[in-house]
Structure 1
Amino acid sequence: MSLRGVREDIARWAERGDPIAMATLIAVRRSAPLPPGARFAISAAGELSGSISSGCVEGDLHERLSALLGGGAPASVTYGITDEMAAGVGLSCGGEIDVLLDRYDPGDPVWHRLWQLQEAGAPGVLLTGAAPPTRSRQLLLEPDRSLGTLGSAALDRAARSRVDDWLGRSDARVVELVQDDPDSLVFVESFVPPPRLVIVGATPIGHALCAMAHRTGFEVVVVDPRDAFLRPERFPDAASLDPRWPDEAMAALDLDPRTSVVILTHDEKLDEPALETALASRCGYIGLLGGGRTQRQRREALLARGLDEAACDRIHGPVGLRIGARSPAQIAVSILAQLVALDRAP
């Protein structure tokens, strides 16, 4: 169960003053029932919450966490899940998992701030030391501030330098902050709002893409100054519709690394200001509809506006994966598939 899944229980235990210990799944090799980030927590009163392996190792974890509450030190443990154990929880093969064990301190400012961010739907990245020198130390990164420490100013700076990359993802993983330095291993959890998709152009492709992206978990904003196209009944799945000119509408949005921009107007009067605004932002993806001739024309126009080649190289064009798509719905599938593929890339 994820951190959000155990939050209600640990908040209740903390409110009545019960000491709490928590196990965090930080790595999976081969296969396992749950992904990194899963939590299993216990209270000193004997209550349990969450799961690491859907039952395989919770008994042993309970003993280890109880010992930790009795005065033990934070630790890590590796479990080899046998084929028989894995089959019992619905897996076809066994695997190996790494788990961190630590006490949960409700008075820790890092935890307090993380809960605030989650309640507000704001992004944050929680780093937990995964090597002996940093174990049990935590650093919380936000786009414009940091809280806590990994115990080293150098490690904190290395983490801060990668915050945009981590805010562009929604997964959890162990990373080496300093290359070839196993003492710099940290467990990184990105807690981010749903990915956002800005569609410029209330076209038939935009209509199909909006519906599909919404069902895939995106928060969709549709931008188009043409009133005849941007009608609410055509985009019931959009989080918002913006009738302003693309550069004005997009300048008002925080185009962060979790935001993708897809430009579908196929009209230079709308394409060019939309591209220029997107390229000046930190958005994670920029896609442009149109064949090779259109791509060349837009690129030349951007270069004439003063942008450089490296900036223009951020544009995915023609937008979408090359799957032979022809209809608006098929093109929308190709675009969404490209967004998902890039999000899943290592």
Structure 2
Amino acid sequence: MSLRAVRDDLARWAGRGDPIAVATLIAVRRSAPLPPGARFAISGAGELSGSISSGCVEGDLHERLSALLGGDAPATVTYGITDEMAAGVGLSCGGEIDVLLDLHDPGDPVWQRLWQLHEAGAPGVLLTGIGAPTRSRQLLLETDRSMGTLGSAEFDRVARSRVAEWLGRSDAHVVELVHGDPDSAVFVESFVPPPRLVIVGATPIGHALCAMAHRTGFEVVVIDPREAFLRPERFPAAARLDARWPDEAMATLDLDPRTSVVVLTHDEKLDEPALEAALTSRCGYVGLLGGRRTQRKRREALLARGLDEAVCDRIHGPVGLEIGARSPEQIAVSILAQLIALARAP
């Protein structure tokens, strides 16, 4: 489970003064159930939160983290294929993982600032030392400031010089700040705002898509001037509901490359201004519901509005993957699958 997934438990334990130990997945070789950045935490009261491997190694990690609470030093442990380990502890999927074991200090200014960034939806990069001299030391980088230290002025300087690179990605990985020097190895976690999905059309498909997209990590905005359809109880997972016309509502949003726009109204009065606003922005994806006839009519209207062919070619239409979807829920699955597939494409 990611840091966000265990955050509430960490805060609750810290609030009552419990000591906390955390296992962080820092590297995966071949296959593993969860990606780097997953966490498994225990409190001094014996409560558990999160997961590293969906159950394969948590029993052993629990013992190691308990020992850490008892005074053992932070460490890095590697788990491999179960059959190769005498104790039978490992990964049945055939992968290999490295896990950092450390104590969590909720009073550390680095963590307090990281939580502030999370609350504000602002980006940041957390570096945790894993080389012997820097193990457990942390440096938090923002665009124009830093907090903490890796214990080396040179390592801190190199890290600060790469902040723009790391803010441009949303994964977690291990790097050597000085090539060929294992003592400079750090675990880099890039925390960026979640990808945003703008749904134009408070339709049954929009309702299903909003709920599914929220569950998979999107921040969802739903736009529809038909207020009778845009009721909060129908879209409890939406971060924002906007009852203005699509072009007006979208003008207030920063439609950046991490924003996807899906137009579902199937009404030319709403489709056309929504498509024009999306296509003339920097958004990364534009999808349009409707068959070939609808696609052709909307394209002709957009060309008449002054958009050129290349711009109109950005439209994914009919929206979604070809999976034979028929119901609103199935169509929502096809749309979400297309968004995920495109985001994962090399």
TM-score, scaled to structure 1: 0.69
Give SS of 2:260's match.
strand
- Indicate if the aligned counterparts of 2:80 and 2:95 stay in contact, CA closer than 8 A: yes
Deviations 1:266-303 (A, max 9, x none): 4555444423433565645332234353575366467x
Displacement of 1:193? 6.7
Residue 223 of structure 2 is matched in structure 1 by: 223
| Alignment equivalent of 1:157, drawn from 161, 184, 187 | 161
Displacement of 1:112? 0.9
Displacement of 1:113? 0.9
- Indicate if the aligned counterparts of 1:325 and 1:331 stay in contact, CA closer than 8 A: yes
Displacement of 1:247? 1.9
- Indicate if the aligned counterparts of 1:176 and 1:182 stay in contact, CA closer than 8 A: no
Distance 1:8 1:242, change over 3 A: closer
Q: Distance in 2 between matches of 1:182 and 1:301?
A: 60
Residue 99 of structure 2 is matched in structure 1 by: 99
- Indicate if the aligned counterparts of 2:167 and 2:190 stay in contact, CA closer than 8 A: no
Residue 260 of structure 1 is matched in structure 2 by: 260
Distance 1:31 1:276, change over 3 A: same
One-letter amino acid of the counterpart of residue 157, structure 1: S
Q: Distance in 1 between matches of 2:174 and 2:257?
A: 19
Displacement of 1:246? 1.1
Q: Distance in 2 between matches of 1:259 and 1:207?
A: 18
Give SS of 2:169's match.
helix
Residue 114 of structure 2 is matched in structure 1 by: 114
Residue 59 of structure 1 is matched in structure 2 by: 63
With 317-326 and 234-243 compared, the bigger mean Cα shift is at: 234-243
| Alignment equivalent of 1:8, drawn from 8, 11, 18 | 11
Give SS of 1:320's match.
coil
Residue 277 of structure 1 is matched in structure 2 by: 277
| Stretches of structure 2 lacking an aligned partner (at least 5 in a row) | none
Residue 169 of structure 1 is matched in structure 2 by: none
| Alignment equivalent of 1:293, drawn from 296, 300, 322 | 296
Residue 232 of structure 1 is matched in structure 2 by: 231
Q: Distance in 2 between matches of 1:95 and 1:226?
A: 51
Give SS of 1:56's match.
helix
Distance 1:112 1:206, change over 3 A: closer
Q: Distance in 1 between matches of 2:104 and 2:181?
A: 25
Give SS of 1:161's match.
helix
Displacement of 1:248? 1.4
One-letter amino acid of the counterpart of residue 334, structure 2: S
Which runs of structure 2 are paired with 1:334-345 in the superposition (5 Å)? 334-343=334-343
- Indicate if the aligned counterparts of 2:82 and 2:89 stay in contact, CA closer than 8 A: no
| Stretches of structure 1 lacking an aligned partner (at least 5 in a row) | 167-171
Distance 1:315 1:65, change over 3 A: farther
Which runs of structure 2 are paired with 1:71-110 in the superposition (5 Å)? 75-83=75-83, 92-110=92-110
One-letter amino acid of the counterpart of residue 174, structure 1: H
Displacement of 1:55? 0.8
Aligned pair count? 327
TM-score, scaled to structure 2: 0.69
Q: Distance in 2 between matches of 1:338 and 1:225?
A: 27
Q: Distance in 1 between matches of 2:168 and 2:278?
A: 16
